[in-house]
Each structure stands twice: as structure tokens, then as C-alpha cells.
Amino acid sequence: MNRKECRVRARSLEAALHEVKEKYGKDALILRTRELKKRKRGGLGYETLYEISVAPEKEIRPGEPPLVDTSDAGQSVTGNAEKIRKQIARLEKLTSTVRKIEDRLRRMLPREDDYPFHDLLLEGGVSSHTVDIIADSFRKTGGAREADPRRAATDHLERHIKVAQAGSWSDVSGTHLFFGAGGCGKTSLIIKLAGRLVDQGKKVAVIALYPRHSGETERWRVVRKMLGIEAAAAYSLEEFRRLVEKFDYHTTVLVDTPCILTARKLLDDEFKYCLSGLECVNAHYIFDLNSAGRRLEREIDLYGRLGADFCVLTKLDITPNKARFLDLLTSELRPFSFINDHPDFEEGLHIATPDKLLSLIGASREGKIPAEEVSFKLNYQADLPENNNTGNSPGNESLSGGGDFQERESISI
């Protein structure tokens, strides 16, 4: 693209043309127009924009948009990056040790506290470090002086809990990648989410990225037939990109990824570059609150390294310390997208709301399930194959809908 080329974007083609005339004159040369899909900020769907590329005959004056520079600068990787990463890991380990010592000392010493949820949060598994941060913030806002401190504490927590901007399942669209450790419940959650979306009349496709064995591809064969969705396995990034781009904007694409703790290729620059070239992509990191303290800290770090957009909570039916999700908010206010609190495929999946999250610590305002949470029926549940590690290595097979598997071009990893 020529450096003299400029772009204008608007929500309608008419508005874009008007802006072109205003900024570049009625004689500006229009090179091309195109329709774009852009991920909604903070939401689980996308919006449509129109882009016009022009080559203005007049010179760009101060105050007008800068010329588009399409040179590919790339990213330089310094030799000190790995050293810095290791040093940060050592500091984080030291910080974790210090916090554990603080926890023990605080439990041994007598305490005078005016934060009404102090004991409730500690009993719910929240670290004392996180409780202290929340309590200090509560005091600074004057909540301790309110007539009803418990209600004030609930209001305070609600203001600091961020969720995706989605009021119903119909708001879920675009491409959604799900990351997490092995056994955290990724596949089960994706199956339940696919069922919810199919219930809403949506077209759904599932991509199994880097499947480990034939048992995983067989599982998606069965789910494809049960729910009437499309499914495919991708064994390379090029194949993954082509599959995502193959589906139209009316199809919601759900991506099942391998264990983030062992699949290091998910953290490579090549993978991040691949995602940056796709439109309307949301990345979700699935947290199992039953993980040990150091393991949870490591996964919080991976959430940041992946550049994930949302947190997902799973296996809450077997989690004794449900309030522990507040530990995810200590360093930054990470938004939540979905909550899964039941093992059955027919129920338990919710779009995250502040009240639903508050109910995990016993501070819910209403204590009732929204009308949107109506379970769907998943037929032939007994036919789902176990997701085990046995079986032959997978061939490069397509899981696309419409009968038996279709053979496709072989692509090496």
C-alpha cells in the first residue's frame, strides 16, 4: 500500500463517505472500500465498520490523520529477555513465600478489624494479602462509616468485579479461544457453550487445535453429530488460520486448545502473530480454583503472557473455596465471561454477572438464577467417549459437519 494512502472508518458507508469529503475534499481519489468486523470492546461479539482508502490530491495539513505507514517493522528480541524473565520468576517466588509467612503471622496475632467480610473471605479461601487489599480499599471509600457496613461492603465488591458486556447468549459471537491447564474443564465447557448457542439458533463450529490423540478427535465427532455443529482439527497454525477464515460471520467459532502448561507453542510469538491477524477474536483463560497457590499464581502469569481477555471459572461444584476467585483481581481487575458450576452437560453454565460472582462468597443480593439460565438438553450423553490419553496418534482428519469425515489436504506442523 502506498504511504500516501489514508483510511477512514465509520459505522456506515454513508458516514465514511461524508468524512472523506470533509477531510480530503470531494475530489479525493477513492482506492477501495471494504467491510470490517471489529471485536466489541469488553463484549463477547463484534460490530461492523466500513473502511474507505483514499489518495487525497491535496497535501495533508496539520491536525489531519497521519499517513498510513504499512512498513513491517517486526519485533526485536533482545538477548536479555530470558534473563529478565527468570529474574522476575525468582522475585515472584520470593514474594509468594513472604505472603505465606504474613498469612501465618496474621492468623497467630489478635486482630481488630472493621471490614465486615474479613472472616468470610478468609474462610472462603481468599489469601490474607488479597483480603487486606480489599479491606484497605473499603476503608478509603468510607464504607466502614456507613449505617449498614455489610451492604456497603457488598456494593464495594460489586464495583470492583468486572464482567463481559453480554446480557444473553445471543450476544456471544465471533471466535472464542479457551486456554487452561489440563483437566481444568475446557472441553466440557465448550460442549456446553456450543449447546447453549445452538439452542439460540446460532451456527456453531468447533476447532480442536493441536489435538494430542485420536480419542480427542473422536470425541468431537460424537459432539458434532449430537448438536448438529461443524467441527475440525487443526495441526498447524496455517491450517488453524484457514479454518477460522473459512467460517462466515454468522458462525460462532469455539477453539479447544491443549494444556497451556505443556504446549509451549501457544506462548510463541508466531502464535500471537497468527491471532493478531484474525478478526473478532476473544481469548478466555479457564481457572480451576482447586489449584495449589503457586500453581494459581503461575496461571495468572500465563493469563497475562497470552494476552487473554476474560477469566472463566469451572468446577465450582467441587470447589470448597469458591471465594478464592478474588485472588485473581489483586494485581488487576480481570473481567469474567463464563461460570460453570455443575458437572452435567445439561446445566450449570452461566454468563458471568456481578451477582453470580458475589453469590460465590455468600454476598449475593438476590440469590436467584436469572431467567436467561434455562438448561438445554444434550442427547446421547452416554455416547461421549472418554477424554483419555490412549489411542493412536491422530491422522490429519476433518471433523467438518455433514456425515462422515472428509479427507483434506495434509498439512504438517
Quick one: 208 and 91 in the same domain? Answer: no
Quick one: 94 and 213 in the same domain? Answer: no
Quick one: cell of 15? Answer: 458516514
CATH value at residue 305: 3.40.50.300
Query: In the listed set 97, 126, 159, which residue is the last one of a domain according to the structure?
Result: 159
Quick one: 133 and 179 in the same domain? Answer: no
Counted domains in the chain: 3
Residue 134 falls inside a structural domain: yes
Quick one: 107 and 193 in the same domain? Answer: no
Quick one: 200 and 342 in the same domain? Answer: yes
Task: Please give the residue range of the domain that contains residue 106.
Answer: 86-159
Residue 152 falls inside a structural domain: yes
pTM (global) more than 0.85: no
Residue 217 falls inside a structural domain: yes
Quick one: 102 and 37 in the same domain? Answer: no
Residue 70 falls inside a structural domain: no
Quick one: 209 and 356 in the same domain? Answer: yes
Show pLDDT as tens, one digit a residue, over the chain (413 residues).
Answer: 455 678 888 888 888 888 888 888 877 888 888 888 777 777 777 777 888 888 865 544 545 554 444 444 444 445 567 778 777 878 878 887 887 777 666 655 545 567 899 999 999 999 988 999 999 999 888 887 888 889 999 999 999 899 999 989 999 999 999 999 999 999 999 999 999 999 999 999 999 999 988 888 999 999 999 999 999 999 999 999 999 988 877 889 999 999 999 988 999 999 999 998 888 899 999 999 998 878 888 999 999 999 999 999 999 999 999 999 999 988 787 899 999 999 888 889 999 999 999 999 886 554 333 333 333 333 333 344 444 443 333 444 445 433 333 333 323 22
Residue 371 falls inside a structural domain: yes
Quick one: 118 and 205 in the same domain? Answer: no
Q: Is 138 exposed, middle or buried (0-12, 13-18, 19+ CB in 10 A)?
A: buried
With a CB cutoff of 8 Å and minimum separation 6, the contacts of 311 are 284, 285, 287, 303, 325, 328, 334, 335, 336, 337
Say whether 50 sits in a helix, a strand or coil.
Answer: strand
Query: In the listed set 159, 184, 200, which residue is the last one of a domain according to the structure?
Result: 159
Quick one: 178 and 304 in the same domain? Answer: yes
Quick one: 111 and 17 in the same domain? Answer: no
Quick one: 31 and 143 in the same domain? Answer: no
Say whether 139 sits in a helix, a strand or coil.
Answer: helix
Q: Is 161 exposed, middle or buried (0-12, 13-18, 19+ CB in 10 A)?
A: buried
Quick one: 42 and 119 in the same domain? Answer: no
Residue 350 falls inside a structural domain: yes
